[in-house]
Structure 1
Amino acid sequence: MNSIRYSLFPLVVCAASATAQAQTTGTITGRVTNSNGGAVEAVSVGLEGQAKGAITDEQGRFRIRQVAPGQYTLVVSSVGLKTEQQTVTVTAGQAATANFMLAESAAELREVTVQGARTNKFNRPNSVDVAKMPLSNLENPQVYATVGKELLTEQLVFSVDDASRNVPGLQKMWEPTGRSGDGGSFYASRGFVVSSQLRNGVAGGVTSTIDAINLEKLEVIKGPSATLYGSALTSFGGLLNRVTKKP
């Protein structure tokens, strides 16, 4: 029995405080209509200079609760309608009523301009190694991706396998086999198997995971244009070319 009393005590206290607050504050109610007498929904109704307000419902009605007694200026505004104001006097324990009729407004909203200045700091606008000549990305017909030293440093890349994760369309298949001539890890590109057997555009086969300590950038050419470097070191799926750091 005592436990029931203790559990009901907080409810009684809350109800008493809510009743006391209702007796010391007032309420503002009303309805917003247009020039044709129809209800206006989603109109902003607020007390000027106060952080209290409401939004009209489907019937154009609004209610602002727990308003301290006093005189207020009620401001009603909506897009496409003229803003109206009305002085309201709030009495403790009572509801003040304020109705509005809003006329259409021909005022146009001010133009909003959104500007973006975000740039990709890892972008490489050109490549000398991919086409074997200094061409920009727009001039180069080959499909390729470059993982530069800035991105390698940002991601704390330790191997070519880690760097290859930044190349879209390149999926690692299996780890290095350790056999001579295999070229490290194997990847899938354009439906063919490729491996990193090029270093600075010439043969540079490895038999284990390639450390990125001496890697300046990783360039991946996709598609049969990779045979520009020789069919013995590439495939129709593409190639991985490791560009090393210059002393």
Structure 2
Amino acid sequence: MDTITKKLLFCLLFLIPVMMLAQSRGSISGTIILSDNSAAENITVALKNTVYSTVSNESGQYELKNVKPGTYTIRISSIGITTVEEIITIAEGESVKRDFTLSANRQDLDEVVIEANRVKYTRESSKVVSKMPLKNIENPQVYNTITAEILKEQVVTNFDDALKNAPGIDKLWESTGRGSDGAGYYSLRGFAVQPTMVNGLPAITNGSPDPC
């Protein structure tokens, strides 16, 4: 027996069990449509408690191949549709065809509340701004309070670092130190502004105010 014959015989002996195994298994196929007769695409089709699973194509067609003979529960599911389950039995070498019609399922999700981490040094009211104990809704002014606790926590040593805690303020240029120029300029809501309050009193400083 020559080498080529031996190789052919070996391949034949290897393929026979594979062919016998394929013939002993079955398949499940069909078409899935929605209640309006449109094709149901990307619908999950699975046999419960097994590894057999697939999804329907753009035409709503699906197929599960090489299924071992037995009785299974086929499950049709997807987001927004009512899940369908059906008992199905596969005989040896049998090809079973099952079509399904699905209906939409409206599911109301529970309310989700997202809360940001609160700053532990936040001060929600200030009597200094309005000079009166007004509630926020009663105060027409918009203000940000940078507390001494925040300055201490961040080890702030200059006015510019302190203002990083106030949203909407950008530095334009440094103070020149000249008496006629005043402190540095900042951009606030599109306007060029200077610090005009020192120690709670209206005042103009030639340099950068001391946050301490």
TM-score past 0.5 threshold: yes
- Partner of residue 57, structure 2: 57
How far residue 180 of structure 1 moved from its aligned partner, in angstroms, is 3.6
Contact 1:84 1:100 in 2 (8 A): no
- Partner of residue 88, structure 2: 87
Distance 1:154 1:74, change over 3 A: farther
Deviations 1:40-98 (A, max 9, x none): 33322122124653322221112456x6746443211354446132335497xx89544
What is the total number of aligned residue pairs between the two structures?
A: 188
The structure with the greater share of residues assigned to strand is: 1
- In terms of mean alpha carbon deviation, does 123-132 or 188-197 score higher? 188-197
Q: Residue type of the partner of 1:186?
A: Y
- What is the CA–CA distance in structure 2 between the aligned matches of 1:182 and 1:211, rounded to whole Å? 17
- In terms of mean alpha carbon deviation, does 46-55 or 131-140 score higher? 46-55
After superposition, residues 1-247 of structure 1 pair within 5 angstroms as 28-33=28-33, 39-50=39-50, 53-64=53-64, 69=68, 71=70, 72-78=72-78, 79-81=80-82, 83-87=84-88, 89=90, 96-102=95-101, 104=103, 109=107, 112-118=110-116, 120-121=118-119, 123-149=122-148, 151-152=150-151, 157-180=156-179, 182-203=181-202, 205-210=204-209, 212=211, 214=212
- What is the CA–CA distance in structure 1 between the aligned matches of 2:186 and 2:95, rounded to whole Å? 75
How far residue 173 of structure 1 moved from its aligned partner, in angstroms, is 0.8
- What is the CA–CA distance in structure 1 between the aligned matches of 2:191 and 2:109, rounded to whole Å? 52
Distance 1:101 1:195, change over 3 A: same
TM superposition score normalised by structure 2: 0.64
Distance 1:110 1:88, change over 3 A: farther
- What is the CA–CA distance in structure 2 between the aligned matches of 1:56 and 1:97, rounded to whole Å? 16
How far residue 161 of structure 1 moved from its aligned partner, in angstroms, is 1.4
Aligned to 1:147, the other structure's residue is in SS state coil
Deviations 1:74-126 (A, max 9, x none): 211354446132335497xx895442323547x76355232345464364321
How far residue 163 of structure 1 moved from its aligned partner, in angstroms, is 2.9
- What is the CA–CA distance in structure 2 between the aligned matches of 1:141 and 1:64, rounded to whole Å? 68
RMSD value, Cα:
3.9
Deviations 1:130-188 (A, max 9, x none): 11222222111112222334654665544321232343442311012122464432112
Q: Which runs of 5+ in 1 are unaligned?
A: 1-19, 215-247
Deviations 1:182-204 (A, max 9, x none): 44321123554322242232155
Give aligned-pair identity as a percent. Answer: 31
Distance 1:201 1:85, change over 3 A: same
Distance 1:112 1:192, change over 3 A: closer
- Partner of residue 240, structure 1: none
Aligned to 1:46, the other structure's residue is in SS state strand
Distance 1:64 1:181, change over 3 A: farther
Q: Residue type of the partner of 1:113?
A: E
